[in-house]
Structure 1
């Protein structure tokens, strides 16, 4: 009986010790929290509210039930969103914007109090659309392409300034996509066709002008040549014309003589039937 009572007492003691150790381990576990690399913690106290200090990396102590940690990722994260905006000349364009953002670490308690842990999803799309619409409205549709560096700079400066008001730091802002509406694309195509037609018309007009000038110069040359021939004929007679006629007849006769299928038979004794320099060798 004494042995049984001692065993029962030992088991009760062991159970109590185990319960105490379990309770202690539970309290110790609830009193510790870990902040990983690239993160920061904001502590909410049930009596004092959000504490103004930001907790860095490592394992830290807190009061169970009274305090609760909220973990923030402070590494740079990408965000992409699209917006359809109207230009100065009332054309609709679609733009895609990529941002690299991170929270301002000393301002994490303020961010948590005013925006919560999903602050970037609440703020960045709204200010991004606002800035894009405001900047795009300052340019015509074609200027968005010809002055794209200036457009990007204006969007970046405006977004950095607006994000700073919410304690968000933007490391990079870039316009990744720009697309016009179907009406503008059709208008651009028609404009290009009209420009090509205008260039073709200008070319035809220029060619016609060149041909007109060439015809005038040719006519002036022929008129001057005829005048010179007329003056020479009046001064020296028609001998030069007869000589040229004889030379032309000689060239024609030489060409005919080299053609085997052509024969010339003189008829009568008329002097105009005579061929000069005719090659009579049989072929």
Structure 2
């Protein structure tokens, strides 16, 4: 009987010890928290509110129930958002912006107080659209293409300043996509066609002008040749003409001689074919 009572007492003590150890382990576990690599913690205290100092990587103690940690990812993260903006000449442009952002570590308590854990989703799309609309409105639609590096630089500079107001650091800002509405695209296409037609018309006019000049030069050359022949004829006198008539008559006589259809020459037709016509 005594042995049974001793055994029961031992079991009760063991159970009490186990419960105590369990409670102690739970208390210890609830008083510890871990901050992983690339993270920082902001500690909330029920009596003092958000503590001003951030907590770095590692395992740390807190007061259970009274304190609670909130973890921030401080690594650079990409964000993409789009905007439909109007240009200076009232054309609508669709742009996509990519930013690489991270929180300013020393200002994490302030970020948590004012914006919460989802600070970037609350801030970046709104200020991104604001900056894009303000910058695009300074340029005509065609300038967005010809001056794209300048446009990107203005967007980057303005957006970095606006993000700094919310304690957000931007490591990179880039316009990744830019497209126009169908009306403007059609207008650009028509303009290109018109320019090509203008170039073609210009070529046709230049060609006609060159042909006109060539005709004038050719006519002047023929006129000069005729003048030279006339001058030579006048200088040589009638002897040159007689010589040409004799040569022509010889050629005609030779042709007739080779022809089998001609047997004799009719009376009154000299072999010189009119050589004496001028006498």
| TM-score, length basis structure 1 | 0.88
Give the structure 2 partner of residue 197 of structure 1.
Answer: 197
Provide closer, same or farther for how the CA distance between residues 233 and 29 of structure 1 changes in structure 2, counting only shifts above 3 A.
same
- Deviation for aligned residue 1:237: 2.4
Match of 2:15 in 1: 15
Cα deviations by residue, 1:153-205 (Å, 9 ceiling, x for unpaired): 00000011000000000000111111111111111110011001000110111
2:41 corresponds to 1:63:
no
Aligned to 2:224: 224
Poorly superposed stretches of 4+, deviation over 2 Å:
237-252, 263-273
How far did residue 229 of structure 1 move? 1.3
Question: In 2 relative to 1, CA 229–174 (structure 1 residues): closer, same or farther, beyond 3 Å?
Answer: same
CA deviations on 1:121-163 (whole Å, 9 max, x unpaired) are 0000001111011111111111111101000100000011000
Q: Is the 8 A contact 2:249 2:271 kept in 1?
A: no
Structure 1: distance between partners of 2:243 and 2:185: 73
Query: What 5-or-longer segments of structure 2 have no aligned partner?
Result: 274-279
Aligned partner of 2:276 in structure 1 is none
Decide whether aligned partners of structure 1 residues 16 and 220 sit closer, same or farther in structure 2, where only a CA change above 3 A counts: same
Shift of 1:241: 5.7
Corresponding position of 1:278: none
Deviation at residue 232 of structure 1 after TM alignment: 1.5
Out of 192-201 and 233-242, give the one that drifted further.
233-242
Whole-angstrom distance in 2 between the partners of 1:21 and 1:45? 27
Residue 130 (str. 1) matches residue 130 (str. 2): yes
**Matches of 1:95 and 1:112 in 2, distance apart?**
31
By how many angstroms is 1:265 displaced?
4.3
Residue 277 of structure 2 is matched in structure 1 by none
CA, structure 1 residues 272+265, in 2 after alignment: closer, same or farther (shift >3 Å)?
farther
Deviation at 1:19, TM superposition (A): 0.9
- CA apart distance, 1:228: 1.5
Note the aligned Cα RMSD (angstroms).
2.4
User: Which structure 1 segments of 5+ residues have no match?
Assistant: 257-262, 274-283
The number of residues matched between the two structures is: 266
Q: Decide whether aligned partners of structure 1 residues 239 and 17 sit closer, same or farther in structure 2, where only a CA change above 3 A counts.
A: farther
Give the 3 Å change call, closer, same or farther, for CA 243–174 of structure 1 in structure 2.
farther
